[in-house]
Structures are given as structure tokens and as C-alpha cells.
Homo-oligomer: A and B are copies of this chain.
Amino acid sequence: MGGKTDLRLTMDDIAAAAGVSQMTVSRVMRGTGQTSDEVRKRVESAARSLGYVPNRLATALRDETAPLIAVVLPTLGNRVFSEVLNGVSSTLTDSGLQPVFGVTEYSAEHEEELVRDLLSWRPRGIVLPGLEHSDATRAAVRASGVRVVEVMDIDGDPISVAIGLSQIAAGRSTALHMLSKGYRRFGYIGSQGGRDLRAVKRLDGFRSAIREAGAQIVSERIVAEPSSMTVGRNETANLLSERNAPEAIYYSNDDLAAGGIMHCLSEGIAIPTQVALAGFNGLAFLEALPVRLTTVETLRLQMGVEAALHLLGHRDDPDEISNKKVVDLGFRLIEGETC
């Protein structure tokens, strides 16, 4: 309360006010070492009344590492990534670590620069999206010596630890399900102009299963925009108005697929008899839709949680040295009413 709260208050100021040395203040603030009750009280009240806030920059410089976890995200425009971030963030609460993040907008060059920027904070660990990174990015991360976790995908060679699911298998799995329902002529609707490499992998998996079954993908529509229900709705309309329209549509994610459902509801198109649909992610809002979408459930929040736990050191494996590890959180095909 009150106090001449100067902008830049240091331990020296508190020390002067309490009539002790800076070091004693440091000891009191951290509760380490020996301090008499008498002095402790004086220091604490001085700190409180002056409104002292420790300077973490100094501590971090001294410690040669900052209590930060760096998080790289492709975008904040897709709730999938805010869920991952949420998992990291909530796991970090009360750990004394704070998240710093940046967004690449699906650009490898941005990622490279961003990773450098984030590493310059000397964070405790870094979370990267997916397994595809430029050589420079990988080198910078390796050289920094900070713990790394790559999330979302496990199809590839991780820098150190990968936590996620096989995107290729998810795509295959969806294809096999749809094939088992008897569909033979497929459409695909994607977004982000193919820059979402996980979506590309799913499509690869999907395609190969379709091809192996002797069925075919009659049309692939990949728009440049970010995904949204509106895009999904519009592209579904476009796809279905093509001559030679497909019997079933695979969407790169649930937002697009939900847009497809909305189109069908509005136009009175029967699902799945006139057209079958499948999405990806298993977003929570799907269960509120009038038609339950067939989709693949993924554990975004848990990926963030597991990544943070690993970085916090609660997931140390015995062989610390060659700590290449893949944590497959798996996926689950959820059969709804759309195929």
C-alpha cells in the first residue's frame, strides 16, 4: 500500500530500506540460507511497501537459462493449435515457467527466423509443430541444447521427441472405413493451399488406400484460404455441382466437413445416401450438430500437456543421451451418421 513505487526498484533499494545487504534481501526473497526472523520481517515489509518486483532477466542471465517454454505454432486461426497451446499453458501453471510463442503462418522461413528469436531467450524447452523443418531450423535447435518436442505428427524422423499421431495412418483409416461402406467415387476438400503438411500426409494416406482398393478420387479441391465452415460449405456446393460428382467427400478437417453438413442441411441433400462425409479432428462442437459427423478423434490438448510435461522433465526416459523418442497418442475413428 502506498510507497514510492519507483519504476526500477532493485534489491539494493530494498536492502537500503531494510538496513541490510543486497545479498540478505536475495536470501529472504528466495527463502534460502539463514536469516533471522527479525531481518526477514524487515525485508519482507520493505519489499511489500515499496512494491518490489524481482527482475527475472537478471536471474535468467545469471542462470544462463530463462524459465520459459517457447512454443511455435503454424497459426492461431485454427482452434486445433490453440488447444495445443492451451495444453502447454495449463500444464505450465504453477511450474514457474511461462510460455512464449510465435506463429509461422505455415512458412518455413518464418519458422526459421522465429525459432532463432525464441532461442535467443534461452528457454528451457521448445515445442515445434510437426516434423518438417528446414535444416537451419533443426541445426539451430540442436545447437542450442534446449529440449525439443515436436507435436502433432510422428511420421518422420524427430529431432528428439515427437508426440502425436500418424497422419498417414489416419488418412488410410478414414479411407478404409469409407470403402467398407461401399463408396467408390471420392472427393477431397482441403484448405491452406497445401501448406498444411499434416493434411497433405493424411491425403497421401487416404489416396493410397483408395488406389489400392481400385476406387478413385474424382475431384480434389484445395483452396488457398484458411479452413472454416464457410469455406467447407462453399466448396461442398462447388464439388457437388460438378458433372460427375463424388459419392463421398473427405475433408482435411472438421471445420470444412461441418460446413459440408450445413450445405446439405440447407439444400435438403440426404446424408449419407446422396453424399457421405468424413472429417478429421473430432472437435467438441460436432456433438452439437444435428447430424453426427464421422471423423477421427485426435488428442490436441493432451499433446500440449505431454509436451510440457516432457519439457518440465517429468517425462525423462532412462537413456537421456540418445533421447530420440516417439510418443504415439494414436487416434480413433468415430463413426457418426455421415458415412
Residue A76, interface by CB 8 Å: yes
Residue A106, interface by CB 8 Å: no
B101 & A101 in contact (Cβ 8 Å cutoff): yes
Residue A60, interface by CB 8 Å: yes
Copies of this chain in its oligomeric complex: 2
Kindly list chain B residues whose C-beta atoms are within 8 Å of the C-beta of A142: 5
The residue on B at minimum CB distance from A87 is B76
Partner of A76, one of B85, B102, B121: B85
Residue A209, interface by CB 8 Å: no
Kindly list chain B residues whose C-beta atoms are within 8 Å of the C-beta of A60: 57
Residue A182, interface by CB 8 Å: no
Residue A61, interface by CB 8 Å: yes
Kindly list chain B residues whose C-beta atoms are within 8 Å of the C-beta of A82: 76, 79, 82, 85
Residue A288, interface by CB 8 Å: yes
Once A99-B100, A255-B285 are accepted as A-B contacts, the answer to whether A144 and B53 lie under 8 Å apart by CB is: yes
The residue on B at minimum CB distance from A6 is B143
Chain A: residues with Cβ within 8 Å of the partner, total of: 63
Q: How far is the CA of A142 from the CA of B100 in the complex (A)?
A: 23
> Which residues 50-91 of A sit at the B interface, judged by CB distance below 8 A?
51, 53-58, 60-61, 64, 66, 68, 76-77, 79, 82-83, 85-86, 89-90
CB of A105, distance to nearest CB on chain B (Å): 8
Residue A117, interface by CB 8 Å: yes
Residue A201, interface by CB 8 Å: no
Residue A274, interface by CB 8 Å: no
> Which residues 80-116 of A sit at the B interface, judged by CB distance below 8 A?
82-83, 85-86, 89-90, 93, 98-103, 116
CB of A66, distance to nearest CB on chain B (Å): 6
Q: How far is the CA of A292 from the CA of B28 in the complex (A)?
A: 60
> Which residues 281-298 of A sit at the B interface, judged by CB distance below 8 A?
284-285, 287-290
Kindly list chain B residues whose C-beta atoms are within 8 Å of the C-beta of A103: 86, 89-90, 93
Q: How far is the CA of A275 from the CA of B259 in the complex (A)?
A: 24
CB of A112, distance to nearest CB on chain B (Å): 12
Kindly list chain B residues whose C-beta atoms are within 8 Å of the C-beta of A145: 7
CB of A108, distance to nearest CB on chain B (Å): 15
Residue A265, interface by CB 8 Å: yes
CB of A1, distance to nearest CB on chain B (Å): 8
Kindly list chain B residues whose C-beta atoms are within 8 Å of the C-beta of A57: 57, 60-61, 66, 121-122
Residue A276, interface by CB 8 Å: no
Q: How far is the CA of A290 from the CA of B76 in the complex (A)?
A: 26
Residue A119, interface by CB 8 Å: yes
Q: Would you mind naming 21 contact pairs between A and B with Cβ atoms under 8 Å apart? A: A1-B139, A5-B143, A53-B144, A55-B120, A55-B122, A56-B120, A57-B122, A76-B82, A76-B86, A79-B79, A82-B82, A89-B101, A99-B102, A228-B284, A229-B284, A229-B287, A229-B288, A229-B289, A233-B288, A262-B289, A265-B290
In the A-B complex, the 10 residue pairs with the smallest Cβ-Cβ separation, listed nearest first, are: A5-B143, A229-B288, A7-B145, A76-B86, A82-B82, A56-B120, A57-B61, A229-B285, A51-B143, A265-B290
